[in-house]
Structure 1
Amino acid sequence: MVSTSYDFPEFKDKAILITGASTGIGAELARAFAAQGAKVGLHYNSSKEQAEALADEIRAAGGTVVLIQADACDTKALVEAVENAADALGGLDGLINNAVALGVITSPFHERYSTKEQLAAMQATIPQGRLGIVEDCGGAFLFLASDEMSAYIIGQTIEVNGGQLMP
């Protein structure tokens, strides 16, 4: 599991369902919440092998995780997935929809859809001088999910982009 200096004890034993959690950013979010002691519902669509490997990784580190398969384009299947996660985890305390306003985060998505030249051109527009990595995302999600840290923050977009899209 990822080693971070984050300490969010409020997530201990909380049940969190994370959509699209088998690879990339979603997988890192599952690691981040599990590292804080959360019980993780790991949703995936077709990446069963990756989901199982991540679940094994989280369990090996002492975490609790259940796998939830559903097609994210099928509303009925997603409702059933949430119900299944709640049943398996003894309720749900949070739902993380892995659909966010991120900058260029190196992940299987960009490996599949972006050329090296495109990534280099995007990197040139980032003040930090580097592409983001999935580990850059966990803190923002933990912050937004925290009642202690962000209880009065509603309906905001937190740009995790290294300054690429500054106003």
Structure 2
Amino acid sequence: MDLRFDDEVVLVTGASTGIGAAAARHFGRAGATVIVHYNANGERAAEVVQDIEQGGGRAVAVQQDLSEASGAVALAEHVLQEFGRVDVLVNNAGGLIERRPLGERDADFVRRLLDLNVGQLIALCEAVAPGMAERGRGSIVNVGSVAAVTGGAGGSAVYATTKGAVTTYTRGIARELAPSGVRANTLAPGVIETPFHDRWTTPEQMRGMVSTIPMGRAGSADECAGAILFLAHDGAAGYITGQVLPVNGGQHFLG
């Protein structure tokens, strides 16, 4: 099936690198107008926009700090004012902050992770979804993690908890939005070769995680992007909502 998004407005958060950048490029090639959100890496975001435009697509980079919900609200207001609507929302922005072992995760650390991975995601959905519901269509893809089920690798228990919250929230809004024709699903990547692991995972840890994957390798950002486009496309996934799509090479089976 040719997954086209012609004349649709797609907002991808955390789109300067990794899974977000790959998804933005794929949406651009599929005909969408893509809002490439970034926080600090404006140069890489500009490269994503350039790649999309060179392929004949339309894209614009928008900067916003999403470490707190207020930033997400500001981003939504800007996009809705400039483009009038969002047809597809991909909540990819988030992070680990750092690996901290048991006993070293204080209240401030927990709060920052919750704000970064849960608070801003909820704020964006709450700001964008009502407009989708009014129009009677739209799709939300929230990027979770296999860590929501496994508990995460060393020092990432709180990160894993936030990804579990993403899954639960997505299921909740999927039920609320279903009567209006709007869908919401979670993508749950496993071990994916992205700057996330370049920054937070040692080579030894990476080898250990890959050794548990039946397919014998880490996944790619492009493989995640393809799954995101599938979930976002009404023709391909029009009867799928509230679900978790794992992209993990068989490392773990999510129910």
Which of 27, 46, 51 in structure 1 is aligned with 2:40? 46
Q: How many residues align?
A: 161
> Within 2, Cα distance between the matches of 1:54 and 1:166?
32
The answer for the alignment partner of 2:11 in structure 1 is 17
Number of the residue aligned with 1:165: 252
Pick from 59, 64, 76: which aligns with 2:58? Answer: 64
Task: Name 2:126's counterpart in structure 1.
Answer: none
Q: Is the 8 A contact 1:17 1:94 kept in 2?
A: yes
Contact 1:17 1:96 in 2 (8 A): yes
TM-score, normalized by length of structure 2?
A: 0.60
* In the alignment, structure 1 residue 127 sits paired with structure 2 residue 121: no
- Superposed counterparts of 1:128-167, under 5 Å: 128-166=215-253
CA distance in 2, matches of 1:126, 1:73: 32
Structure 2 unaligned spans of 5+: 93-142, 145-187
Higher relative contact order (CA 8 A, sep 6+): 1
Give the Cα–Cα distance (whole angstroms) in 2 for the partners of residues 60 and 154 of structure 1.
34
Matching residue of 1:8: 3
Q: Given the superposition, is the C-alpha separation of residues 89 and 64 from structure 1 closer, same or farther in structure 2, using an over 3 Å criterion?
A: farther
What amino acid does structure 1 have at the position aligned with 2:2?
A: D
Contact preservation (8 Å) 1:41, 1:89? no
For 1:67 and 1:138, the matched residues in 2 are separated by 18
Query: Equivalents in 2 of 1:31, 1:87: separation in Å?
Result: 23
Conserved 8 A contact 1:42-1:68 = yes
Q: Distance in 1 between matches of 2:82 and 2:2?
A: 26
Q: Please give the alpha-carbon distance, in whole angstroms, between the structure 1 residues aligned to 2:85 and 2:253.
A: 39
Q: Percent identity?
A: 45
1:55 is aligned to 49
Q: What is the Cα deviation at residue 37 of structure 1?
A: 0.5
Structure 1 residues 70-79 or 135-144, which shifts more?
Answer: 70-79
Contact 2:6 2:31 in 1 (8 A): yes
Aligned to 1:93: 87
Highest Rg: 1 or 2? 2
TM-superposition CA deviations, 1:16-40 (whole Å, max 9, x none): 0001101000000001111100100
Match of 2:201 among 109, 114, 118: 114
Structure 1: gaps of 5 or more residues:
1-5
Write the letter of the residue equivalent to 1:33: F
What is the CA-CA distance between 1:90 and the residue it aligns to? 4.2
Normalized per residue, the structure richer in helix is: 2
Post-superposition offset of 1:91: 2.4
Kept in 1: contact 2:13–2:20 (CA 8 A): yes
Q: Which residue of 1 aligns with 2:78?
A: 84
